[in-house]
Structure 1
Amino acid sequence: MAHTGLPTGIASPDAQGLLHQQLDTPSRVDEVTDRLVTAIAIGEYLPGARLPVERDLAAYLGAGRMTVRAALARLVERGLLETRRGRGGGSFVRDQWPDSSTEAVGRTLTHRLAELRDRCDAVCRLQGAVCRAAAESRTDQDIAVLWERFEAYRSAETGLAAQQADSGLHEAISAAAHNDVLAQLLRDLKATVSMGAPAHLWGEPSSMRAMEVRALHEHEKLVRAISDGRADDADALGRLHGAIDFHHITTAMRRAGVPSGD
């Protein structure tokens, strides 16, 4: 699920930038660079996607704007990003996982593996609760929107379009739960799994299409369970579907040549 707001408790971008502006070091630039490289490699930002502006990216990463600017410049030099000027410009992804990204992906995921395992497990459990609430509270209008979003995902092209359609479907599921607190908790928790921004990771290139097909089948079962009001099934299916995120992480680790323990 993609998100545009900051998770609860994160300071404003301006406050974050002022806090870190004088504290960041060259090693901090290395860390932020690795996180952005990893975010692109595992599909938080897919080819063609535009990254958030520096101010917002600094807030997501808890880094100063100059640090983020230096990291972005490195990604441009490596060919992962391109900078477009003028209206509608910004930093856009050119290449998802060249060989030069592999070491950074391995370092970043290995460092965060235990934390990511626990957070992904929590996401699965909370996503099940949201899906249960949707099955119990959905209206006829909610059901119509869910099937419309499902068809949009089914017809989407692989990659960025499928990722965006997936986000739309999950937003509709959260809306059908009619519980803003649950929906916000899930958004905030999923944001903490992110490497580079609160965005739904989409997997590394070689496994992406297989995961999209898997998600299609799981989406259909989940939307049907919610539509039919089968709360227990919706809960179980929501948890199962949430496991895709950690599968993406362990698949990326295998590609990077580091053990995941799974």
Structure 2
Amino acid sequence: MDEVEDRLVTALAVGEYLPAARLPPERELAALLGVARVTVRSALARLVDRGVLETRRGRGGGTFVRTQWPASSSESVGRTLLARWAGIQDTADAIALLHGALAAAAAERITPAEAAALRDRLDAFRQASSGAAKQQADAVLHRSIIDAARNDVLRSTLATLEAQISIAAPAHLWGAEEGMAEMEARATRDHEVLVEAVCAGRASEAGQVARRHVGIDVELLEQAMLRAGQVPTADPAHP
């Protein structure tokens, strides 16, 4: 149960679940974490007692994030990320390569209607509020690029790898509140270049931008490790 609690705390700290977000039901969390439902229930209860989460009753109720990174989180975050770090680097490298391949394929295959829809997704990302709304708009934009690539094998492989790098959520991490605005501005610039390359059919450029862009995730995890008092160890294979 301690490991499950650590993973949930880390998922909050790195922004897989943002403040005020409702966590998935216990059954879904148990599947995501690969543990029994009773184990998830116990871990959630302990986090409610710690003031990290809160439970709301009635219509629209559930378990919600109260705070992203209280002082008590640092030990859990450092322990969780350090244990997974070598695997995170290798998996993140594979994810970046797949995103590049999918973006290049999308640039070669995108239809005018799909290009117009992708530009709409970019506008939606620009206009979304900071935090959860932008996190959701980001996911929709990237799904549109993946769909335009029309390759179910690559899509499935990417989903499998992203599930492996996830701490405890199906959502991409979004970082800590203090660096969020800067990260979102950088993501906006990357999205603008990426969408233009895809829509214009510039496959090589689209692939390069996509590979670079998804590196933001690893940088956010590195920042979390440093904040937790751990120094990420560089893998010589992935400088």
* Aligned match of 1:3: none
Is 1:206 matched up with 2:167? no
Is 1:246 matched up with 2:218? yes
Is 1:107 matched up with 2:93? no
3-state SS, counterpart of residue 178 of structure 2: helix
Tell me the distance in 1 between the aligned counterparts of 2:145 and 2:66. 32
Q: CA deviation at 1:48?
A: 1.9
3-state SS, counterpart of residue 63 of structure 2: strand
Which amino acid in the other structure matches residue 109 of structure 1? L
Tell me the distance in 2 between the aligned counterparts of 1:236 and 1:171. 18
Tell me the distance in 2 between the aligned counterparts of 1:163 and 1:93. 16
Structure 1 vs Structure 2: percent identity of aligned residues? 56
Is 1:119 matched up with 2:87? no
Tell me the distance in 2 between the aligned counterparts of 1:86 and 1:123. 40
Which amino acid in the other structure matches residue 183 of structure 1? R
Aligned with residue 237 of structure 1, among 209, 213, 218:
209
Tell me the distance in 2 between the aligned counterparts of 1:144 and 1:65. 43
> How big is each residue's C-alpha offset from its partner over 1:104-151, in whole Å with a ceiling of 9 and x where there is no partner?
101100111101011111110011011011101101111111111111
Moved over 2 A (4+): none
Aligned with residue 65 of structure 2, among 93, 99, 103:
93
> How big is each residue's C-alpha offset from its partner over 1:139-195, in whole Å with a ceiling of 9 and x where there is no partner?
111111111111111111111111011111111111111222222221221111111
Tell me the distance in 2 between the aligned counterparts of 1:200 and 1:107. 20
Is 1:57 matched up with 2:29? yes
Does the CA contact (< 8 Å) of 1:48 and 1:160 recur in 2? no
TM-score by length of 1: 0.87
Which amino acid in the other structure matches residue 119 of structure 1? T
Is 1:164 matched up with 2:136? yes
Deviation larger for 87-96 or 237-246: 87-96
Does the CA contact (< 8 Å) of 1:49 and 1:93 recur in 2? yes
List runs of 5+ in structure 2 lacking aligned partners: 235-239
> How big is each residue's C-alpha offset from its partner over 1:48-79, in whole Å with a ceiling of 9 and x where there is no partner?
21111111111111111111001001111122
* Aligned match of 2:237: none
The alignment yields a C-alpha RMSD, in angstroms, of 1.0
Count of aligned pairs between the two proteins: 234
Tell me the distance in 2 between the aligned counterparts of 1:220 and 1:214. 10
Tell me the distance in 2 between the aligned counterparts of 1:56 and 1:72. 13
TM-score by length of 2: 0.95
List runs of 5+ in structure 1 lacking aligned partners: 1-28
Is 1:193 matched up with 2:183? no
Is 1:36 matched up with 2:8? yes
* Aligned match of 1:154: 126
3-state SS, counterpart of residue 192 of structure 1: helix
Q: CA deviation at 1:220?
A: 0.3
Which amino acid in the other structure matches residue 202 of structure 2? R
* Aligned match of 1:7: none
Q: CA deviation at 1:46?
A: 0.5
Tell me the distance in 1 between the aligned counterparts of 2:29 and 2:52. 17
Does the CA contact (< 8 Å) of 1:134 and 1:173 recur in 2? yes
